[in-house]
């Protein structure tokens, strides 16, 4: 058998990129969290999925706004990842952003942005799974921030 710690260790062997997923509420307040449970789902139609902890402060705001942006972080954005991995508060002070088509913020300097509208939300244990239809995306030059065995890594480490 295995416990939660062992499962975390096993899943930590699956190397990923790092994203900050952002949204906004009806008053225009911005929310975001660091996430690596992000998966490409379908090309036609263009879909991806994200998994959000039900205990996250930003969780209800994804349900309300029905939209989000996946900001794929560059290797220079570890500090942003650390900031958005802490719960609550105003995480956006001093962060350069541009509003996307639905008002959620695009984070400047990210390697790519994917603006999504939520088409489905599924139960996933202590998380929910949001399926997002990708409506707009853009990419920049650079290398990604990586996460492996509980630590940030870079392609140059390999």
Residues in contact with ligand FMN by the rule CB under 6 A: 18, 33-37, 51-53, 56-58, 85-88, 147
Cβ-based nearer residue to ligand FMN, 35 or 48 = 35
Cβ-based nearer residue to ligand FMN, 45 or 125 = 125
Closest distance to ligand FMN from the beta carbon of 82 (Å): 7
Helix (H, G, I), strand (E, B) or coil at 112: strand
Find, among 48, 75, 47, 78, the residue nearest to 140 by Cα.
Answer: 75
The DSSP string of 16-80 is: EE-EEEEEE-TT--EEEEEE--EEEEETTTTEEEEEEETTSTTHHHHHHH-EEEEEEPBTT-HHH
Closest distance to ligand FMN from the beta carbon of 117 (Å): 19
Distance CA 67, CA 38 (A): 15
Cβ-based nearer residue to ligand FMN, 18 or 106 = 18
Closest distance to ligand FMN from the beta carbon of 52 (Å): 4
Closest distance to ligand FMN from the beta carbon of 25 (Å): 12
Distance CA 110, CA 127 (A): 25
Cβ-based nearer residue to ligand FMN, 44 or 132 = 132
């Amino acid at each position: 058998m295995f416990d939660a710690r062992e499962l975390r260790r096993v899943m930590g062997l699956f190397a990923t990129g790092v994203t900050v997923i952002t949204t906004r509420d009806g008053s225009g307040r911005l929310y975001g969290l660091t996430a690596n449970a992000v998966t490409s789902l379908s090309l036609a139609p263009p879909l991806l999925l994200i998994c959000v902890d039900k205990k996250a402060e930003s969780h209800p705001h994804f349900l309300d706004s029905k939209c989000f942006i996946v900001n794929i972080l560059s290797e220079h954005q570890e500090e942003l990842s650390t900031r958005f991995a802490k719960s609550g508060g105003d995480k956006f002070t001093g962060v350069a952003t541009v509003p996307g088509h639905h008002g959620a913020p695009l984070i400047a300097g990210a390697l790519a942005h994917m603006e999504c509208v939520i088409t489905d939300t599924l139960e996933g244990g202590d998380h929910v799974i949001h399926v997002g239809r990708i409506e707009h995306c853009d990419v920049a030059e650079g290398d990604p921030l990586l996460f492996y065995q509980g630590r940030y890594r870079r392609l140059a480490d390999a």
